[in-house]
Amino acid sequence: MTGAPPDTLPTPLSLPLPYPVYCGADVRQSIGEIARLVAPSHRVAVISDTAVAPLYAKSIAAQFPTESTHLFTIPPGEHEKTRARWAELTDALLEWGAGRDTTVIAVGGGVIGDLAGFVASTYMRGLPVIQVPTTLLAMVDASVGGKTAVDTPFGKNLVGAFHNPSAVVIDPDVLVTLPDNVLRSGLAEMIKHGVIADAPYFDAVLSFADAIREHGGGAPDFVAAITMLITGSVRIKADVVAEDTREGGLRQILNFGHTIAHAVERVLNFELLHGDAVAMGMVAEARIAESIGLARAGLAVGIADAVVRAGLPARMPAGLNLDEVIAATHGDKKARGGAARFSLPRAIGEMESAEGTWAVAVPDDLVRAALMEK
């Protein structure tokens, strides 16, 4: 046990979502009570990875009765987000005797959130899941929105389901054990949130970027500052997904930086951190927005400055094969007239609506020019 639970339940953030999001230092000590409130059940299946389990998942499992609680773990890493691990976890739940009266608690980064969320979405046609994200990226991005998935040899996230959590519990205290490069990777999505929706939020992230670059989780007042920024990011993401729950339109603005990022990740065999790919993708896509006359000159330089101050890369890796990147921007579908689609900003805090599609077709030669710029 991790000590007595607090007397009162924490207050969830006020968000336009059908489930509560709790965010605050030490809120993980209240997961037992939160679960009893939002998803009361006979059994509790905590799912984590072997790196996060001893740090956090074990003590979270200890908030529930031993005889009806089990901690299931898999090894850490993106390459574990597979159908094989989905089947293994599902079989382990069956063997343990989990019925429909079971709540899943996902404790980990985006890999665990996506995988455990997918297990929960399919097990006996759906179990409630509580998302407890432990990386910055999972806190500000993966845990909110209800998307779950596993990867396949054909690409990432190709098999999955929309399955809203019963609650999201974000405890920024756990970020202090995160490696600095993984922490910074989450900052890229926060910069993105500022660009797509909120200029003052962009400035707030920027004002903390230097401290994180230099000191990581050891920055002065880290937990207080990051809690405020996480709350801002979650609010931006929640506003977008509330308006477009199943990705028909507005949700596409969350893809800013990601057409290039996904293409580069693919060409480099996913050996780059996602946030690093998003950082360079945002800079290149802002250049594209300038070159087609959508954004005023200076936007890309402003975003590059934020990215560099956060300790993230603004430039494409040396030796990257641009032909392969451009081919990959067309995704699995064949090139439609040599023009991939991009969600592009007009300015910090303002995205181009492109008549409600939120994605603009850009000819390959302009994409190439943006990628080549130094």
Which residues does the annotation mark as catalytic? 125, 147, 189, 237, 247, 251, 255, 258, 262, 274
3-state secondary structure of 291: helix
> How close are the terminal C-alpha atoms of the chain, in Å?
54
Task: Pick the closer one to ligand NAD by CB: 76 or 349.
Answer: 76
103 contacts 61 by C-beta, under 8 angstroms: no
Residue identified by tokens 């405020």 is 228
In the complex, least distance from residue 297 CB atom to ligand NAD, rounded to whole angstroms: 31
The Cα–Cα gap between 287 and 352 comes to 14
Residue 157 interacts with ligand NAD (CB under 6 A)?
Answer: yes
Q: Does residue 114 touch ligand NAD according to CB under 6 A? A: yes
- Between CA 257 and CA 261 the distance in angstroms is 6
Span from 2-10, 20-28, 106-114, 290-298 in contact with ligand NAD (CB under 6 A):
106-114
Contact between 78 and ligand NAD by CB under 6 A: the answer reads yes
Among 12, 20, 109, 313, binds ligand NAD (CB under 6 A): 109
The footprint of ligand NAD on this chain (CB under 6 A) covers a number of residues equal to: 30
Q: Does 165 bind ligand NAD (CB under 6 A)?
A: no
Tell whether residue 156 is a contact of ligand NAD (CB under 6 A).
Answer: yes
Position among 135, 166, 227, 343 found at the interface with ligand NAD (CB under 6 A): 135
If binding is defined by CB under 6 A, does position 302 make contact with ligand NAD? no
Sign of CA dihedral 329, 332, 336, 341: negative
Contact flag: residue 138 with ligand NAD (CB under 6 A): yes
46 interacts with ligand NAD by CB under 6 A: no
Minimal distance, residue 119 CB to ligand NAD, in Å? 14
The Cβ of residue 289 has, within 10 Å, a number of other Cβ atoms equal to 27
- Say whether residue 178 binds ligand NAD (CB under 6 A): yes
Decide if residue 49 touches ligand NAD (CB under 6 A): yes
Taking CB under 6 A as the criterion, the residue among 15, 174, 304, 359 binding ligand NAD is 174
Q: Which listed residue (38, 46, 61, 111) binds ligand NAD by CB under 6 A?
A: 111
Q: For ligand NAD, which is the closer residue by CB, 307 or 370?
A: 307
Q: Least distance to ligand NAD from the beta carbon of 120, Å? A: 13
Residue with Cβ nearer ligand NAD (112 or 212):
112
Instruction: Give whichever of 182 and 204 is closer to ligand NAD, judged by the CB atom.
Output: 182
How many Å separate Cα 251 from the centre of its chain? Answer: 14
Q: Please identify, using beta-carbon distances, which residue of 49 and 290 lies nearer to ligand NAD.
A: 49
Q: Give min distance, CB of 214 to ligand NAD, in A.
A: 20
* Assigned token pair, 239: 């506003």
Please state, in angstroms and rounded to a whole number, the distance separating the CA atoms of residues 274 and 280: 10
Give the start-end residues of each E strand in the chain. 21-23, 43-49, 69-74, 102-108, 129-133, 147-152, 155-162, 167-170, 339-342, 345-347, 350-351, 360-363
Site string for ligand NAD, 226-265 (x = CB under 6 A): ----------------------------------------
Provide the β-strand partners of residue 235.
none
Alpha-carbon distance 145 to 162, whole Å?
A: 8
Q: What are phi and psi of 357, to 5 degrees?
A: -90, -20
What part of residues 186-225 is at the interface with ligand NAD (CB under 6 A)? none
Q: Can you give 131-179 as a three-state secondary structure string?
A: EEECCHHHHHHHCCCCEEEEEECCEEEEEEEECCCCEEEECHHHHHHCC
Cβ contact 30:6 at 8 Å: yes
Write out the residues near ligand NAD by the rule CB under 6 A. 49, 51-52, 55, 76-78, 81, 108-112, 114, 134-135, 137-138, 141-142, 145, 147, 156-157, 174, 177-178, 182, 185, 274
